[in-house]
Amino acid sequence: MLLALFLAPVAMGATTEEQKTVPDESQGLLINGFWDNWFISIDGGASVFFSPWDKNLEFTKRIAPNASLNAGKWWTPVFGTRIGLDYMSGNSATIYSDAFGYQSNGLIDGFDDLYQQRFHGLRPHVDGMVDLINLFGGYSPTRVYSLIVYGGFGYGYGWAEGEPISDGMWNVELRGGLINSFHVSDAIDINVEFKLSKYDSGLCGERRGEGDGYQPYHNLNASANIGVAYNFRERGWKAPVVPVYEPVIPKYSDAEGDALVQRLQDANNRIKDLENDLAATNEALAKALEAANANVEEPAVTVYYAINKSNIRSSERTVVKAVAEAIKADPNTKYVITGYADKQTGTDEINARLREERAQAVYNLLVRYGVNPDQLITTTDTKPLNKFNYALDRAATIKVAK
């Protein structure tokens, strides 16, 4: 199915040899090629176990190191997968002398049957990831922070120091967590990860031979890691392409051409009649325009947005680029960029954020096109921009500052 999604845009643009295509961000789903948006990451940190007896061990003595190596791919700006290998170690407490890493000289103060244990584990794992910021806020190439939630499972091997390797235990891990990802550059991310894992009691080898009175239980392990990720090949996202169809101009017969010429002559005669009618009103119209111009506010350029969006569409970027050239030609004039949002949809908080983001998006694009930031002022306005159609309030305006 994924292969079909990858090939769909190509198939759309290859209907004929001469078919042209253009990017269209309004298509919504952004998907790059298979070899794009891969990453590799490494991280390390500390973890703490929570088994039935660990609460009796001093917390600082329960902290143990762990590390992880991962490779993965973002299939869309929202959804990704990764595989990896975790190393973990545990400082725990047990009442069972056959547990992994049982410390016969590690009796815990205040107890006559509770001992410390130390053990290790290696565990391959698979995770599914969702970028919550892109899911709810839409993809933005300039965003520097992502909040990623993930879940998955692992299956690996546990062992203890001084124990024969053959005594190690295989066990299943259920895992989930949050990744705070900071994009310091296109290629490098700094990740702060919080993870919670659940294992069965075989992780640390307790009660390997189930006897009288044995009750199976589960271990929980909470960890906090910091690491770095490197992103490969194409790192942003391209809008899907849609076909552009050239207009078809039919060839007319001679009779059809003569008929068109006659219709054109009739139209020219009608134009002359209208010109005669308008001649008598030209002077009055000029005076009316002169009086109106004295009270007309400075015209504004308007950039429109899709509902609940603040990213500028490619069709609007041409308008902003033309405005940028005009502003650069007049460096002594300041301009006000005002953000709007329609009140018919969304909450007051969402609309307030959209107004600010829409004004800021125009500001950022003008600066990218070479406009001096000192010439620009951003603001918002809660009044309707268009009283006849609230959908036209999803906009930002650019006009000369008074």
* DSSP assignment of 195-232: EEEEEEGGGGTTTSS--TT----EEEEEEEEEEEEEE-
| Beta bridge pairs of residue 243 | 21
Residue 176's pLDDT is 96
For the range 167-173, what are the long-range contacts, defined as Cβ-Cβ under 8 Å and sequence gap of 24 or more? Answer: 167/100, 167/205, 167/208, 168/100, 168/205, 169/100, 169/202, 169/203, 169/204, 169/205, 169/208, 170/202, 171/199, 171/200, 171/202, 171/203, 172/199, 172/200, 173/123, 173/125, 173/197, 173/198, 173/199
pLDDT in tens, 33-49: 888 899 999 999 999 98
pLDDT in tens, 166-195: 456 677 889 999 999 999 998 999 999 999
CATH of domain 300-402: 3.30.1330.60
In sequence order, which residues have a C-beta less than 8 Å from that of residue 293 and are 6 or more positions away? none
Query: Can you give the residue ranges of every domain in the chain?
Result: 19-208+216-231, 300-402
E strand map for 112-261: 115-131, 145-159, 169-183, 188-200, 218-231, 241-244
Percent of the chain at pLDDT above 90? 39
> By mean pLDDT, which of 148-157, 173-182, 258-267 is the weakest?
258-267
Question: At residue 3, does pLDDT exceed 60?
Answer: no
19-208+216-231: CATH architecture: Beta Barrel (2.40)
C-alpha span between 386 and 397 (Å, rounded): 12
pLDDT in tens, 325-346: 999 999 999 999 999 998 888 8
